[in-house]
Structure 1
Amino acid sequence: MTALQGLQIALQVLRLNPLRSFLTILGIVIGVASVVTVLAIGKGAQLQLEQQIRSIGANVLMITPGAIHQGGVRLKAGTKLTLTEGDVQAIIEQIPEIQVAAGSIAGTAQVIHESKNWNTTINGTTTGHFLVRDWQLSSGRYFSADDEAGAGKVAILGSITARELFQPGENPIGGQIRIMNVPLEVIGVLDRKGPAQDDVAFVPLTTAKLRFLGSASGINRDSVAYVITKVASDGQMAGAQTEIESLLRQRHRIPTDQEDDFKVQDPAAAMEAQQGAVRTVALLLMAIASVSLLVGGISIMNVMIVAVTERTREIGIRRALGGRMRDIRLQFLCEALVLCLIGGAIGIGGGITLSLTIARMAGWITAIDAQAIGLSVAFSAATGLIFGFYPAHQASKLNPIEALKAE
């Protein structure tokens, strides 16, 4: 008997009792669906983190306010803005490894254009911000020196903000928008950086402070919420970080026995570490999901053993008509394999549906690739062969004469 004949016979046998066949493969369906869902969500999380790492820019160091002490009490990090525009200028002038740096303040506000409005992040910064992050314009221009020095009423929009405020086909450049009743001219639209990055409107730092985000700067009008810097090369990252820390401690007059009132971080390195954690969690969840495959395999083995007992006389007749031991073994192996492959196919469909549903409800990103589908098919086939071998082997060892006597 050939493998193709074995598969045809297996399909005929399984059609005789469809309910039992479905209940038999239920464990495989659940296991494969779980594996596909976990792989899709895990892959989506990794892609999202990779996108965020790329969107930050290469060789970027971020400086944020740290914890400070006030009246002997250690306040929460970021409670007071301890960084200034003077710090930014000192970093550029005194640390040769730094190519460019930019300070920023940020808040949220309603942006209005004619009859349309959109709530978005308002970021007050300088042109250096876009240079640090390697963020190109799709149209228009960056802030000029006059815009930054004279608190110009201009704005650069992220792609999502531009899409929400302007009609399809309408050119945003030269368009008028309002933020907190302050009229601004749109002078640029940025290329896409990712959904989390593109929902923003940039204005000159001086404009943000003087016209609508000044209160975010605390007591010192020179303050900024954070600073981003671009280091000349990857090999200079550690040295640049140490120099920034030393310079800022000196400028902030921090005693040697006191903590920094700022933090210098490599956001890309932090996200890469987070990416490793995501991979670990995904593997753990996949291992847990694979338990369902094990349970499903055991269920198939038990049902096949029962099937061998029920079909003892059939096996005896086949042996009496010239069927060889390997033919009997192949027949039962094919039945187990077909059960698992059908269960795998149903599980793949269920897993894709479940992952898309979770993504839509939770707002997550999922990514279903051929590798996940191939892995699920391989798991299903392996489960059928492994757990179907013992019943098939037992069936092939039956004595033809004793089998014919079975009732």
Structure 2
Amino acid sequence: MNFFNLLKIALRALNRNKLRSVLTMLGIIIGIAAVICMLAIGQGSKDSIKAQISEMGSNMIMIHPGNMQRGGVRQSSDDMQTLKVADYEALRDRTAYLSAVSPVVSSSGQLVVGNNNWPSSIYGVTPEYLDIRKLSVEDGEMFTEADIKSAAKVCVVGKTVVDNLFPNGENPIGKVVRFGKIPFTIIGVLKSKGTNSMGMDQDDVVIAPYTTVMKRILAVDYLGQIYASALSEELTPEATEEITDLLRSNHRLTGDEEDNFSIRSQQELSEMMNSTSDMMTVLLTCIAFISLLVGGIGIMNMMYVSVTERTREIGLRMSIGARGIDILLQFLIEAIIISVTGGLIGVIVGCGATWLVTVLAGWPTSILATSIILSFAVCTVTGIFFGWVPAMKASNLDPIEAIRYE
């Protein structure tokens, strides 16, 4: 018996039991749709993390005072005052793998302009901070080295600050804003960057000369952090090693002493977040594959019922010359048709569900062609695997016993 005759017989058999066939497909449809949707959410999350880190500067390096490796042990105030201006100057002047370096000191407080006020943070930095953080001035200008030397009371503000302090659309350039009791003249407005992957508003910021923040607001002689930028993302490990050696020398630390500073790079952050994202994707995909397995068991169950119901038909076919291989292929084709059809519908449902997740939940998603191919291949294998045993049972029936079956 040729393949096309077997295909017509299989389609006719499935058509006689439409509802049962559809319900059997449901498990495959749900499984395939879940696999595609989960993988799309996982890939979208990874792509979003990469994009956010790229926007922040993929080669950015952050140096913090104190040693973060001490875990939950509370560190003294002296431990958190280990970074000095001399460290920043050494990194600026004596490193080969850094393209930009900026000290960072910060304070939180209330910004006031006339009757409007807004809680925000002010960051004391140098102009290189813009290059490190991939920021740019959209209106006005950035403060200069001369402003840093004179600890000038000037600042550059983000869009969120402008929107809340100047709700009527006034031009903020040249206006005076008070931070606590200190008046600052706004000389520039930063280009908007929106929120990052952790939901933080990157436009709710005020930046000023670090000397101004240190002397006039905080009255300290140490730095909160130092931000640096490696020459390239690939040279980040070499830059980190160079920073460690220079700071240990500056702080007069011997070989046995622990670092009194800690270094974190965007590369480390990216790897950590991708690892977390991968773990969640694997977990969700495993759950989705369990659904696919349940769908496969549904196919096996339906095929067993079909073999039992059609025992006499199988006996008659074999008595007039049908071979065991013909019976085997007939039932195997039925199982494959169910799984492949369910797989096709599952792909469509999965793509639709992914679109709904993006539109309704606002989550980043990215459907990979490999996930569709993999899902389709798995559902085909599922049909063959779970349809094989019932098909073998049908092909091994004794024709005489089958005809007598009631």
Same fold flag (TM > 0.5): yes
Question: Who is 1:89 aligned against?
Answer: 89
Q: Counterparts of 2:115 and 2:8 in 1: how far apart (Å)?
A: 66
Q: Counterparts of 1:373 and 1:309 in 2: how far apart (Å)?
A: 35
Q: Counterparts of 2:79 and 2:278 in 1: how far apart (Å)?
A: 34
Question: Who is 1:294 aligned against?
Answer: 293
Within 5 A, what are the aligned runs for 1:210-289?
214-215=217-218, 221-232=220-231, 237-254=236-253, 257-276=256-275, 278-280=277-279, 282-283=281-282, 285-289=284-288
Aligned residues of 1:6 and 1:330 also touching (Cα < 8 A)? yes
Within 5 A, what are the aligned runs for 1:118-197?
122-136=122-136, 141-148=141-148, 149-157=150-158, 174=173, 178=177, 180=179, 184-185=185-186, 187-190=188-191, 192=193, 195-196=196-197
Question: Who is 2:386 aligned against?
Answer: 387
Question: Who is 1:66 aligned against?
Answer: 66
Q: Which moved more, 1:316-325 or 1:371-380?
A: 316-325
Per-residue CA deviation, residues 21-78 of structure 1 (Å, 9 max, x unaligned), is 354345434432432233123212321332244234354332111149xxxx961799
Unaligned runs of 5+ in 2: none
Q: What count of residue pairs does the alignment treat as equivalent?
A: 395
Aligned residues of 2:59 and 2:266 also touching (Cα < 8 A)? no
Mark the CA change 1:91 to 1:270 in structure 2 (over 3 Å): closer, same or farther. same
Q: Which moved more, 1:23-32 or 1:299-308?
A: 23-32
Q: Counterparts of 2:161 and 2:337 in 1: how far apart (Å)?
A: 52
Mark the CA change 1:21 to 1:139 in structure 2 (over 3 Å): closer, same or farther. farther
Q: Which moved more, 1:110-119 or 1:249-258?
A: 110-119
Mark the CA change 1:238 to 1:404 in structure 2 (over 3 Å): closer, same or farther. closer
Q: For 1:338, give the aligned amino acid.
A: I
Q: Counterparts of 1:114 and 1:349 in 2: how far apart (Å)?
A: 57
| SS of match in other structure, 2:61 | strand
Q: Counterparts of 1:51 and 1:26 in 2: how far apart (Å)?
A: 37
Superposed displacement of residue 177, structure 1: 8.5
* TM-score, scaled to structure 1: 0.75
Mark the CA change 1:297 to 1:115 in structure 2 (over 3 Å): closer, same or farther. farther
Question: Who is 1:21 aligned against?
Answer: 21
Quick check: 1:203 aligned with 2:202?
no
Question: Who is 1:367 aligned against?
Answer: 366
Q: Counterparts of 2:110 and 2:5 in 1: how far apart (Å)?
A: 69
Q: For 2:308, give the aligned amino acid.
A: T
| SS of match in other structure, 2:186 | strand
Q: Counterparts of 1:235 and 1:59 in 2: how far apart (Å)?
A: 8
Per-residue CA deviation, residues 161-204 of structure 1 (Å, 9 max, x unaligned), is 7788889xx89784869575756536243364873474442412
Q: For 1:43, give the aligned amino acid.
A: Q
Q: For 1:380, give the aligned amino acid.
A: C
| SS of match in other structure, 2:41 | helix
Superposed displacement of residue 362, structure 1: 7.8
Quick check: 1:315 aligned with 2:348?
no
Superposed displacement of residue 239, structure 1: 4.8
Aligned-pair identity (%): 35
Question: Who is 1:37 aligned against?
Answer: 37
Q: Which moved more, 1:301-310 or 1:224-233?
A: 224-233
Unaligned runs of 5+ in 1: none
| SS of match in other structure, 1:75 | coil
Q: Which moved more, 1:299-308 or 1:75-84?
A: 75-84
Q: Counterparts of 1:248 and 1:392 in 2: how far apart (Å)?
A: 73
Mark the CA change 1:90 to 1:335 in structure 2 (over 3 Å): closer, same or farther. same
| SS of match in other structure, 1:64 | strand
Superposed displacement of residue 378, structure 1: 2.2
Aligned residues of 2:192 and 2:203 also touching (Cα < 8 A)? no
Mark the CA change 1:175 to 1:58 in structure 2 (over 3 Å): closer, same or farther. same
Superposed displacement of residue 102, structure 1: 0.3
Per-residue CA deviation, residues 62-111 of structure 1 (Å, 9 max, x unaligned), is 2111149xxxx961799734323332112212334433210113455677
Alpha-carbon RMSD across the aligned residues, in angstroms, is 4.4
Aligned residues of 1:120 and 1:199 also touching (Cα < 8 A)? no
Mark the CA change 1:256 to 1:399 in structure 2 (over 3 Å): closer, same or farther. closer
Mark the CA change 1:147 to 1:171 in structure 2 (over 3 Å): closer, same or farther. farther
Q: Counterparts of 2:271 and 2:173 in 1: how far apart (Å)?
A: 40
Per-residue CA deviation, residues 224-283 of structure 1 (Å, 9 max, x unaligned), is 221112234567645543443343334445566542221123331442254245435533
Q: Counterparts of 2:254 and 2:312 in 1: how far apart (Å)?
A: 92
Aligned residues of 1:123 and 1:202 also touching (Cα < 8 A)? yes
Question: Who is 1:75 aligned against?
Answer: 75
Q: Counterparts of 1:360 and 1:52 in 2: how far apart (Å)?
A: 20
